[in-house]
Structures are given as structure tokens and as C-alpha cells.
Structure 1
Amino acid sequence: MSERETETPTELSMRMRLASHKSWASTTDRPARTAAARRASHHTRFLDKARELHPAATDEQITAVAESLRKAHYTELAMRSAKARRLKAAMRGTAAA
């Protein structure tokens, strides 16, 4: 059995943390390393959708529309979560959480 197979969760966490710190220490251009994640962020997605819906809007209007889109998105996620919990509780035969 290898050393990795016998390490505890704490040791695994420490090893992964060490690797992360070493990786970031050797990164010279941090913005370039994280650029793809920033491009794919939810915030950017909502701004892009707002601009698509309202191409002639001002930056202030785009920001307001993007905020509404963000709130709608998270409200929809909350509704789906509540429905899933309700269905799961019904399958177990208990009251919804």
C-alpha cells in the first residue's frame, strides 16, 4: 500500500494545500492564470445577457438589469431546491423541511 493510500484526510488536505501554495508561488502572471475563470463568472454572464437584451442601455441601466437577472437566477435555484426537498420528503413519507 502506498503512502498516499494510507494518509489521513488531514494529511491529504495539507498535501493539497502545499501543492496549491507552491503552484501559486511559481505563477508569475496571476491575472493571466485566472482570466478564463473571470470570463466564465456568473457576474460577467449576467452583464452580457443584460447588454444582449438592452443594447442601447446606459452602463447604469445594464448594471440594474444584470442585478435583476442575477436575483432571478438565484430565486429560480432556490425554488428548484425547495421543490427537490419537498419531493424527497414526500418519497420518505415525512413533512417537507
Structure 2
Amino acid sequence: MSHSPTSERKMRSSIAAHESWANTHDRSARTAPARRALEAKFLEQADGDPVRAEHLRKAHYARLALKSAQSRRRAKEATAIADAADAEMSELAGGAA
């Protein structure tokens, strides 16, 4: 069997995931074990203290939100740089014509 390029594997995986979720009637029930496992992880880290576990959970999601905000900022900055470069190229091309 020959190996497919990564992009084709990703596309096949994406198709399979969409079909799987399309055939899932109770999405909440399907994801319940993962949610329970994550909550158990926080509770274990907190040595069984539910209040500490809740703070660990909030810290986890705040950390994710921070990373997301940083990523969006970097993407916005990269887009601004690319737009400025495009504008400069257009200006240079227009001046030479």
C-alpha cells in the first residue's frame, strides 16, 4: 500500500470525523466520558478537594483563552505585515508602469 500525502490523509480524516458526528444522535452522551475524565483529572490534581479542582479547571481554561488571544494577535500582526507588503509591491509596480 502506498502512502498518501499528508494533505490527503487529513482530508480523509476530516471526512470520516464529519460522517461520524453526522451519525451521532446524542452528542452530549458521546462526549460525556471525556468530560468526566477531565473533571476527574482536576479532582485528582487537587487531592480530592472539589474547590481546588474548580480553581484548577478555571486556570486551565483561562490558560487556553490566553493562548488563543496570543495566537489571534500574532495572526492579526502577520496579516497587517502581509497587507503592508502587498500595498508596497502594488505601489512599486504602479510607479514603474
Give the structure-1-normalised TM-score.
0.48
Between structure 1 and structure 2, the one with the greater Rg is 2
Structure with bigger helix share is 2
